[in-house]
Amino acid sequence: EQRGYFIGTQYGPMAHADWPDKEVASTVQVAFYDATNPEARDFLWSRVKDNYLDPYGISAFWLDACEPELKPGFQENLRYHAGPGLEVGNLYPRENARTFYEGMLAAGETEVVTLNRSAWAGSQRYGAALWSGDIGTDFATLRRQIAAGLNTALSGIPWWNTDIGGFHGGDPDDPAYREVMVRWFQFGALSPLMRLHGFRDPGMPLGPDMTGGPNEVWSYGEEAGAILEKYLRLRERLKPYVLDVMREAHEEGLPVMRPLFLEFPEDHAAWSVDDSYLFGSDLLVAPVLTAGATVRTAYLPAGARWTDAWTGETYEGGAAVTVDAPLDRIPLFLRDGARLPVAE
């Protein structure tokens, strides 16, 4: 505090937030370091390095609540090293990622990535992977993740993912939720980053040892578990392709997850498609987004020939096609004869 490393306020005192400590009824006041202050960034990193990286080799960090989550937090009242909150407050998550990126580079790390709940223009320069936050656990929420991922991609941030299955709730023993999990897991396997996470039912009351219910792939019964394993293995088979697409994103700025119009700008119909996307340039993904669905209609852009990756059937672009989508199958289409190891 004496060094001025915390976020301040209009009238001088540093900003505080009330955070639960051990239980909801017991809160403590905490302060946030000012990530827009280079000296504050160096100070925080020195503590992280001394307590995590050096003694334990921990070099991957989950930067949650990095907006920062000040409660209450009124930007017009906040004062940062870089300026007034209303003018510069959105820089915080980017500069917070910068703290860890520059620190780890200086420590000799060469492949730096952090998982962030928030981002800002330029966050991708600092190894920031973004996820869509603490979201619901139903098909409507899954549907919205496609738009979230595509908008993130078009904002220049290629590393993006969701909590597969959503975050808030979801009972592993509920057949309806098992269907959500299977369909979301399929989508997650064809997302830039694949990550299973969530606070499943039955949850525990807030406390020092709280946890959600079981959330491992074997927690959802034999049928669902076998399908989840199938898509883990698919992700592994696609690893060379994924690495090539990641490298393209790094070197050329093309996102991993692409709206159809990015590759097919002359196809006017492609501009209105918001329920499917391209994973790299060669694979069109059409997630199943409706409970009980066993078929899926997907638009295939004009200017290419498309092959159903599961059946081998070929279609001319420029039209919508309806294909089978049993529970264990997410519709996937290969572009212009691309050869990817989708089917085992």
Catalytic residue annotation:
64, 67, 134
* Chain position carrying tokens 């096609």: 321
Taking the C-alpha atoms of residue 93 and residue 36, their distance in angstroms, rounded to an integer, is 10
Query: What is residue 137's three-state secondary structure?
Result: coil
Burial group, residue 269, by CB count within 10 angstroms (0-12, 13-18, 19+): middle
User: Minimal CA–CA distance to 191: which of 132, 250, 248, 135?
Assistant: 132
Radius of gyration, CA atoms only, the chain:
22
Helices (H), the chain: 38-48, 54-56, 85-88, 92-106, 139-154, 175-189, 221-237, 239-252, 260-263
Structure tokens at 222: 């034999």
Taking the C-alpha atoms of residue 253 and residue 81, their distance in angstroms, rounded to an integer, is 31
Vertex 65: Cα angle to 64 and 67 (nearest 5)? 125
Amino acid present at 203 = G
